């Protein structure tokens, strides 16, 4: 029997034109594998899925309180934002509190993730600086940590710097993977990114959303309370957290990575679209959530009111979520030629 595996199909006229395989792990905080697709031990780069853990030392070490960093600013430190006006307003305020400028940010500017803002940049209506990077909040947070401890600001983004060593401690703590087992390489924004198994990423999210630790609770609360700052207009992280009213936490990563947590079930999710297709990652996440919630509703007999509500939210999505689950594909004349659609099943291990 073949291994159960999710995939995302790209159709044209109803016929699959291409197929994106999905590896996924669904874990609880005790390290039990609840469900999987493909190889749950696939080692891949966590990319921006690691950002909540990169922000944790800010809270744990006292930098958030010292610099009076708000929940909104903390959410931005976990964000892959779209460089919209609100994002820039918050990161500018955060940088002012810390006492840093664009010259201190190691992340370079790039085309904004918001199509509207990107078009404005192409027209020359805005001048891009490092704070326009989708990772500028993360970098501001790293600089705040360096200032708080009196560490050098120069090179804060590089492996071996005390900031990155401190973050590695948190990745190890929450994932359960020893430092020697975590691959390190520069991310797209120049900071260190982490390579580890999907199941370890999922354990980290399950532990984060279940932990009584005050720092973890503040990170999760910031993400749940300020979803717009995590991503932006029309982005799945924002729309999903808003629609679920914080009962689902989701964080995208580059190259087809998504991480998520279901606080009501104490489960963490990590997935990788194996060919790195970014269009497919959100489709895959929503399908994983549906299958996990269907299973949970069936096993609870509908006794946990939150679970049927969340499942209904995904199976009968309102307008802001509907387009993420089955995105339409249009040609140059705007005519719908196909869609992205999920296919396949998770394998469940809990009986």
- Within 10 Å of residue 145's Cβ, how many Cβ atoms? 26
**pLDDT mean over 134-153:** 98
Cα 237 from Cα 252, distance rounded (Å)? 7
* Cβ-based burial of 4 (10 A; exposed 0-12, middle 13-18, buried ≥19): middle
Residue 176 has pLDDT above 60, yes or no: yes
Distance between CA 323 and CA 60 in Å, rounded? 38
CA distances from 41 to 25, 36, 196, 202 (A): 8, 10, 9, 11
Annotate 138-199 with DSSP letters as a single string. Answer: HHHHHHHHHHHHT--STTTTSTTSHHHHHHHHHHHHHH---GGGSEEEE-TTSSEEEEEEHH
Q: What was the pLDDT predicted at 328?
A: 94
| pLDDT score for 305 | 77
Position 224 pLDDT exceeds 80 = yes
More confident residue, 124 or 33: 33
- What mean pLDDT is reported for the chain? 95
Range of the domain at 94: 6-348
- Extract the tokens encoding 74: 């903390």
In this prediction, what percent of the chain has a pLDDT beyond 70?
98
pLDDT at 251 over 80: yes
DSSP per residue over 69-86, as a string?
Answer: --HHHHHHHT------HH
Residue 178 lies in a domain: yes
Structurally, how many domains does the chain consist of?
1
Q: Looking at the domain assignment, is residue 221 inside a domain?
A: yes
pLDDT at 11: 97
How far is residue 127's CA from residue 132's CA, in Å, rounded to a whole number? 9
pLDDT at 302: 63
| CA–CA distance, 342 with 344 (Å, rounded to integer) | 7
DSSP state letter for 304: S
Q: What is the mean pLDDT of residues 65-70?
A: 98
What is the structure's pLDDT at 15?
Answer: 96
Lowest mean pLDDT among 23-27, 139-143, 302-306: 302-306
Alpha helices (runs of H) in the chain, residue ranges in sequence order? 51-60, 63-66, 71-77, 85-98, 115-122, 136-149, 162-175, 198-210, 214-225, 227-230, 236-243, 278-300, 306-315, 319-325
With cut-offs at 50, 70 and 90, classify the pLDDT of residue 2: low
pLDDT at residue 1 greater than cutoff 80 = no
Q: Is residue 1 part of a domain?
A: no
Place of tokens 């990077």: 133
pTM, two decimals, is 0.96
243 within domain boundaries: yes
Residue 30: inside a domain, yes or no? yes
- The strand pairing partners of 249, in sequence order, are 261
pLDDT of residue 296: 94
The tens digit of pLDDT for each residue in 26-65 reads 999 999 999 999 999 999 999 999 999 999 999 999 999 9
Half-sphere exposure of 248 (CA within 13 A, CB side): 29
Checking if the pLDDT of 159 tops 80, the result is yes
d(CA 44, CA 255) in angstroms, rounded, equals 10
Which has more confidence, 328 or 350? Answer: 328
**Spatial CA neighbour of 320 closest among 252, 242, 266, 261:** 242
Whole-angstrom Cα distance, residue 149 to residue 113?
A: 33
311 in any annotated domain: yes
Q: What separation in angstroms does the CA of 38 have from each of 2, 142, 281?
A: 10, 35, 15
d(CA 77, CA 139): 7
Q: So what's the pLDDT on residue 185?
A: 98
In a domain, 152, yes or no: yes
pLDDT for position 320 = 83
263 occurs within a structural domain: yes
């Amino acid at each position: 029997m073949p291994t159960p595996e999710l995939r995302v199909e790209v159709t044209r006229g109803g016929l699959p034109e291409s197929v994106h395989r999905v590896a996924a792990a669904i874990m609880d905080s005790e390290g039990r594998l609840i469900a999987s697709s493909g190889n749950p031990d696939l080692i891949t780069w966590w990319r921006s899925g690691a950002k909540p853990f990169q922000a944790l030392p800010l809270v744990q070490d006292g930098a958030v309180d010292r610099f009076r960093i708000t929940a909104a600013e903390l959410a931005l430190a976990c964000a892959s934002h779209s460089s919209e006006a609100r994002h820039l307003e918050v990161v500018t305020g955060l940088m002012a509190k810390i006492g840093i400028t664009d010259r201190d940010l190691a992340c370079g500017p790039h085309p904004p993730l918001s199509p509207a803002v990107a078009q404005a940049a192409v027209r020359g209506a805005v001048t891009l600086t490092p704070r326009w990077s989708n990772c500028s909040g993360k970098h501001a947070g790293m600089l705040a940590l360096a200032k708080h401890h009196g560490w050098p600001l120069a090179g804060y983004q590089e492996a071996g710097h005390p900031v990155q060593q401190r973050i590695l401690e948190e990745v190890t703590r929450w994932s359960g993977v020893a430092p020697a087992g975590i691959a390190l390489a520069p991310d797209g924004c120049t900071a260190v990114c982490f390579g580890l198994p999907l199941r370890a990423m999922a354990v980290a999210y399950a532990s984060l959303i279940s932990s009584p630790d005050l720092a973890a609770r503040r990170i999760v609360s910031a993400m749940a309370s300020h979803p717009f700052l995590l991503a932006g207009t029309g982005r799945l992280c924002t729309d999903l957290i808003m629609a679920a009213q914080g009962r689902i936490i989701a964080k995208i990563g580059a190259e087809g990575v998504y991480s998520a947590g279901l606080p009501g079930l104490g489960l963490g999710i990590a997935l990788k679209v194996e060919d790195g297709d970014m269009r497919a990652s959100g489709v895959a996440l929503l399908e994983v959530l549906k299958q996990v919630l269907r299973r949970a509703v069936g096993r609870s007999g509908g006794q946990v009111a939150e679970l049927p509500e969340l499942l209904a939210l995904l199976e009968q999505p309102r307008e802001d979520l509907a387009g993420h689950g089955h995105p339409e594909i249009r040609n140059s004349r705007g005519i719908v030629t196909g869609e992205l659609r999920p296919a396949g099943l998770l394998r469940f291990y809990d009986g």
